[in-house]
Amino acid sequence: MSLSVEPKDLSSMNTLGLVSHASACVVFTDEAQLPALTRLATAYDHALVLGGGSNVVLAPQLSGLVICTQTQGIALIADTPDAWLVEAQAGETWHNFVGKCLENGWAGLENLALIPGTVGAAPVQNIGAYGVELDTRIDQVHAWDIQQGKSRVFSRSECEFAYRDSFFKRQPAGRWLITRVRFRLPKPWVPQLSYPDLSTCREMAASGQLTPRQVFDAVCAIRQSKLPDPAVLGNAGSFFKNPVVEASVWEGLRAGFPDLVGYPQPDGTFKLAAGWLIDRAGWKGRRQGAVGVHDRQALVLVNFGGATSAELLTLAQNICADVYARFGVRLEQEPVLCA
């Protein structure tokens, strides 16, 4: 199948709404196009695979080949006594996919509702929210090696998942194009309600009345109350990872800041709430030109309109420097910089 390459304004194709243009953009809609995609990519120095643009910081001008994934399709591969095996094409919108799973009675992804982006981008970032990490639901990831022109199926272990990280995120940009993702949704359904925000759901679970749809609705309501809609105010969700520190660092910080928010990890370390650090450093609600920190969630950096990646990254660097000066803790950016 042939592919058409053309310049593209990407300002509306990244959730931060950053001003960005691609000199060469191609839309991928069918796996039959993959060999042609590899042949085409050889004409460019580098390639960028773009899904929903929800976890990227785009430079004003992208000179390589930008591949926009728009494949569609959801299928039940198997229904076993232990799990539903559900496969989705990479171009499916993540939130819509979660909703369609629930409509079909396939529960297990409801805590990840309303996360922006596509199915194909979800494993790259290893998304997670409200007590559920995506890697616990992954069975296989199907990907195309753009450089070598061949497909590969990755098992869950081969994806090398870590906190907001994966094998794919650590590879050179444009090397791998995720085409399909297969999920294993365990039976029987067990609601994940560890987060304090889900206290209402815990009460319903105690009475035996809780359903997956109610968890889905609760998560949507929580996210909408705390996070800005990218269609209204450009953002990429959480801009910083929650830093993980040794127990000695945790104890030292707690001595000076008794209300410090953190979560013990299985290996004895502590995951600090980056939002608390940023808020306590005085950045919540602050603005620098066209960018700023959201007034309800300090983890979210926003574009008030017309901002460039340089303005956003300057704000991020200022926040990181201030947090380190105050707490001795280094923050790490979540969205990937694409130049």
**Catalytic residue chosen out of the listed positions 223, 238, 280, 309:** 238
**Catalytic residue chosen out of the listed positions 164, 182, 184, 280:** 164
- The question of whether 152 is a catalytic residue gets the answer no
Segments in the chain forming alpha helices (H): 34-41, 94-103, 122-125, 167-170, 199-206, 212-226, 247-256, 274-280, 309-327
- The question of whether 2 is a catalytic residue gets the answer no
CA distance 313 to 301: 10
Strands 74-79 vs 138-145: parallel, antiparallel or unpaired: unpaired
Cα-trace Rg, the chain? 20
Strands 336-338 vs 56-58: parallel, antiparallel or unpaired: parallel
CA distance 246 to 270: 6
- SS3 category, 140: strand
Angle of helix 212-226 relative to helix 94-103, nearest 10 degrees?
160
- The question of whether 164 is a catalytic residue gets the answer yes
> Which residues are marked as active site?
164, 238, 334
